Structure 1
Amino acid sequence: MAQQAENVVDLLLSQHEEIRNLASTVEKSSGETRRAAFDRLRELLAVHETAEEEVVHPFARRAIDDGSHIVDERLEEENEAKGVLSRLERLDPDSAEFQEMFSDFHKDLEAHASHEEREEFPRLRQEATDEQMRGMAKAVRAAEAVAPTHPHQGVESPAKNIMAGPIAAVVDRVRDAIGKGRR
């Protein structure tokens, strides 16, 4: 029997689990372990949110009752998170300021993921066909492959992501490659 293709909600839930694990590692560790976990978390959040903004939220906005309201609230949270994540990038991960700001960020990150998991994902499962769920998973993977690896506040719509995303992604990936991704 062939393995069933991945659906978008399962993909996103798996990424949420990885995000939670990385955030816990950042909060509980120090030194190079914290720095590496934060870099991976920052990159995963950047590509994950971009893909949600380009693929998942537009579908949810159209397909679920009160979808616009739900998506608008998530986009507001994502915008705020990008601002905090950008500020965190400029701090020394072992500083007291980073630790305090990251602790608050971690709580907000958990609240955001929980909102999606309670308010958006179950309704996506209800409204989308299996084919749509698999198609969105493929589209999310494709979007993540070319997404920026750093947060870009104010770029939360599909149109803005499509216009600014490719340029930001190239700049971010070059920045990462030459080791200046942090500061």
Structure 2
Amino acid sequence: MGDALELLLRQHQLIKTLFAQTLDATATAEREANFRTLRRLLAVHETAEEEIIHPRARTEIEDGASVVSARLREEHEAKQQLAELESLDIASPEFEKGLAQLREDVIAHAEHEEQEEFSLLRHELEPRQLRAMRRAVEIAESLAPTRPHPGVESVEANLLVGSFAAMLDRARDAITKPQSA
């Protein structure tokens, strides 16, 4: 089963794979399907980190407040980039350029989390705590918005806006899902 950090690390790898598959896709429909999957994973993954991992890191690791603040700034910027990508034609050079930049930024963000947050949490918390956090991450992801919402990067904002945003996102996803999906 693993713990919360193992789950998030596996998702980091999947995110990298989805970026590559989206950028490498030659057919528009394939690129769109890959992007939709990537967008959803990024949205739920970041929400879970914002609700479960970052608050714990803020209190458990040395200089946690500044580490978490830096990660939240990166997450905000990535959400803005992702929202901008949604407004572009998926077959356009602008989309491809924007997605390549987002990939660079998201990979750098994931590396910061892994080095400055996850490794320190693994040192500070007991294995049973990390296993319990996994279930909390899974629940947060199951209730999270499936699209980017810049400005919703704190536990408080996720609790106030997240449920409503998730409901709207999931309705939008159902309406816009291609018939072949």
Same fold, TM exceeding 0.5?
yes
Deviates further, 101-110 or 25-34:
25-34
| 2:161 matches 1:164 | yes
- Select which of 15, 29, 37 maps to 1:19: 15
- The CA deviation at 1:28 is 1.4
User: 1:10 maps to which residue?
Assistant: 6
Q: Quote the Cα distance in structure 2 between the aligned partners of 1:27 and 1:173.
A: 25
Q: Quote the Cα distance in structure 1 between the aligned partners of 2:20 and 2:46.
A: 19
Equivalent position SS for 1:178: helix
- The CA deviation at 1:180 is 6.9
- The CA deviation at 1:27 is 1.3
Work out the number of aligned pairs and report it.
177
Equivalent position SS for 2:33: helix
Q: Quote the Cα distance in structure 2 between the aligned partners of 1:17 and 1:93.
A: 23
User: 1:150 maps to which residue?
Assistant: 147
User: 2:66 maps to which residue?
Assistant: 69
Q: Quote the Cα distance in structure 2 between the aligned partners of 1:115 and 1:94.
A: 31
User: 1:29 maps to which residue?
Assistant: 25
- The CA deviation at 1:132 is 1.0
Runs of 5+ in structure 1 lacking a partner?
none
TM norm structure 1? 0.94
TM norm structure 2? 0.95
Q: Quote the Cα distance in structure 2 between the aligned partners of 1:113 and 1:32.
A: 28
User: 1:85 maps to which residue?
Assistant: 82
Name the amino acid aligned to 2:41: L
Moved over 4 A (4+): none
Runs of 5+ in structure 2 lacking a partner?
none
Equivalent position SS for 2:166: helix
- Select which of 34, 40, 54 maps to 2:37: 40
Instruction: Say what the alpha-carbon RMSD is for the aligned residues.
Output: 1.2
Name the amino acid aligned to 1:24: A
Name the amino acid aligned to 2:117: E
Q: Quote the Cα distance in structure 1 between the aligned partners of 2:15 and 2:74.
A: 16
Percent identity reads: 49
Name the amino acid aligned to 2:81: V
| 2:125 matches 1:120 | no
- The CA deviation at 1:130 is 1.1
Q: Quote the Cα distance in structure 2 between the aligned partners of 1:14 and 1:105.
A: 19
Q: Quote the Cα distance in structure 2 between the aligned partners of 1:157 and 1:116.
A: 16
| 2:101 matches 1:104 | yes
Give the 3 Å change call, closer, same or farther, for CA 180–91 of structure 1 in structure 2: farther
| 2:49 matches 1:60 | no
Q: Quote the Cα distance in structure 1 between the aligned partners of 2:34 and 2:64.
A: 33
